[in-house]
Structure 1
Amino acid sequence: MKDKIALVTGSSRGIGRDIALKLADVTSGVAVHYKNNRNAAEKVVKKIREKGKLAVSFHADLTKEREASALVRNVEEKFGRIDILVNNFGPILAKSWEKVTSSEWDYILRSNLMSALYCLKASLPGMRKRKWGRIINLGYSRAEQLVAFSTITPYAIAKTGLLILTRSVAASEGSAGITVNMVSPGLMEGGILPESKSVPKGRLGKLEDISSAVLFLVSDEADFISGTNLIVAGGWKI
């Protein structure tokens, strides 16, 4: 793992930031992607460099395939490779489905589903060539249950689609030494549904809960795990 390069989308803050910082401990470098907040991304870069690792920030609007492809190309030109791709980019919209505008539907689906597709399509050729790759898609804990969730319907649809994409790519890329998995958070500290009483574990999820799951799935110990959805939710709504 020490010679690997990781790209983490949406890593200027929150879960993505924590994943980028944790990956810096076990890899040789991390590409920090941001869409809006360059200053925050540069702060993440600084922290990674303080660890003695390589880090560069990259801007891209991943809802556009052209920019997603350019991001991957730029990272490969700068670092020489992408071994680990973490598709974290994608906001959640808390709004009754009836009140969601067409443009909001489009943006949520593009940012949470299509952005991951664009990035993994662009990253796969290099991973295939090297016969090694780790792709982690960030989901949400109830994607497999196909339950009604009227306040985050576009987001739930996008993440359910991402789960199917995760398993489809895992099935097709195993022979190339590439694993593809999903990490699905439940209720998180600072999230839109702070209902810790409904979590059997008795607390909300922490950033390190998610980043620890990602670190395991990209490790050599998880080499035989692919196509799985690792739900990190403290037993919530199982």
Structure 2
Amino acid sequence: MKRVAVVTGAAKGVGAAIAKRLVTADLAVVIHYHTSEADAKKTLAQLRRVNPDCAMLPANLRETKQAEQLINLVMERYGRIDLLINNVGNFIYKPLARTSIEDWNDVIETNLTATFSLCQAVLPQMRQQKYGRIVNVGQVDAARMVIRPKTTPYAIAKTGVVMLTKQLAFDNAKFGIRVNAISPGIVETSVVKLKTPTGTLVPVEDIANAVAYLVADESTQVNGANLEVANGFTFE
């Protein structure tokens, strides 16, 4: 049976690009979405032209029970999960003084807690099969402790994602599981101002190709890494 990949936040944008790249590697890809059902259907139609066994599933990953249910539903259908790409996330651009507790919880729960919940749900099965690849999506400033006045909750969440990635990699290496992070810079669809050496945005395909490398057999010694795909950018 083909290996199975789950990509969260994959209705459109970066997640959809990752799903489209992985399906070319002979994988059955399950795309997760929350509210963008129409976009998810379009992406799924494209995936099924390559592999009819792809699927889509909805979930609000801020809810731990729904994250666990997502993993359970994939297991019921396919009997295995080989790859988990934690791409889902939310971004709020405002000064910390104007950030409400609702804003804070939304960003932390969507970016960090959802990643933790999904990893906790999928790892027992990956340990049992002695194989697994997890890629968590961070952000270019993650783990650098850089102050970003209008993205503080997001920076904190993504720094946590990178720290979680390294601990999971250490804990699970003996089970044949690799856990890495990828940290994009400003992607094509972003509205945030940027400053890069070339003044260009990061194509979603570049991020997808980097994910494909991290889960491939050609990167067997890459574990606990945080790969930046950012074109050397800094916020203005």
Alignment TM-score > 0.5, same fold: yes
Structure 2 gaps, min length 5: none
In structure 2, the residue corresponding to 1:143 is in which secondary structure?
Answer: coil
Work out whether 1:193 is the aligned partner of 2:192.
yes
In structure 2, the residue corresponding to 1:86 is in which secondary structure?
Answer: strand
| Preserved CA contact (<8 Å) 1:94 1:192 | no
Judging changes above 3 Å, is the alpha-carbon distance between structure 1 residues 53 and 225 closer, same or farther for their aligned structure 2 residues? farther
Match of 1:108 in 2: 107
2:216 to 214, 219, 236: 219
| Preserved CA contact (<8 Å) 2:127 2:177 | yes
Match of 2:97 in 1: 98
What amino acid maps onto 1:123 in structure 2?
Answer: V
Alpha-carbon distance in structure 2 between the residues aligned to 1:34 and 1:180: 22
In structure 2, the residue corresponding to 1:31 is in which secondary structure?
Answer: strand
Alpha-carbon distance in structure 2 between the residues aligned to 1:138 and 1:6: 15
Alpha-carbon distance in structure 2 between the residues aligned to 1:5 and 1:201: 37
TM-score using structure 1 length: 0.95
| Preserved CA contact (<8 Å) 1:24 1:53 | no
Match of 1:131 in 2: 130
Within 5 Å, which residues of 2 pair with 1:134-153?
134-153=133-152
Match of 1:36 in 2: 35
| Preserved CA contact (<8 Å) 1:194 1:204 | no
Deviation at 1:236, TM superposition (A): 2.1
What amino acid maps onto 2:130 in structure 1?
Answer: K
Within 5 Å, which residues of 2 pair with 1:1-238?
3-195=2-194, 198-237=195-234
| Preserved CA contact (<8 Å) 1:92 1:155 | yes
Deviation at 1:54, TM superposition (A): 1.6
Structure 1 gaps, min length 5: none
Deviation at 1:202, TM superposition (A): 3.9
What amino acid maps onto 2:225 in structure 1?
Answer: T
What amino acid maps onto 2:57 in structure 1?
Answer: F
Please give the per-residue CA displacement for 1:140-175, whole angstroms capped at 9, x wherever unaligned. Answer: 001121011011111000000111000000000000
Q: How many residues align?
A: 235
**Same amino acid, percent of matched pairs:** 36
Please give the per-residue CA displacement for 1:171-226, whole angstroms capped at 9, x wherever unaligned. Answer: 0000000000000001121212242xx21244110001100100000000111111
| Preserved CA contact (<8 Å) 1:61 1:68 | yes
Judging changes above 3 Å, is the alpha-carbon distance between structure 1 residues 234 and 52 closer, same or farther for their aligned structure 2 residues? same
| Preserved CA contact (<8 Å) 1:167 1:180 | yes
| Preserved CA contact (<8 Å) 1:28 1:54 | no
Judging changes above 3 Å, is the alpha-carbon distance between structure 1 residues 206 and 194 closer, same or farther for their aligned structure 2 residues? farther
In structure 1, the residue corresponding to 2:25 is in which secondary structure?
Answer: coil
Deviation at 1:53, TM superposition (A): 4.0
Q: Which deviates the most, 228-237 or 212-221? A: 228-237
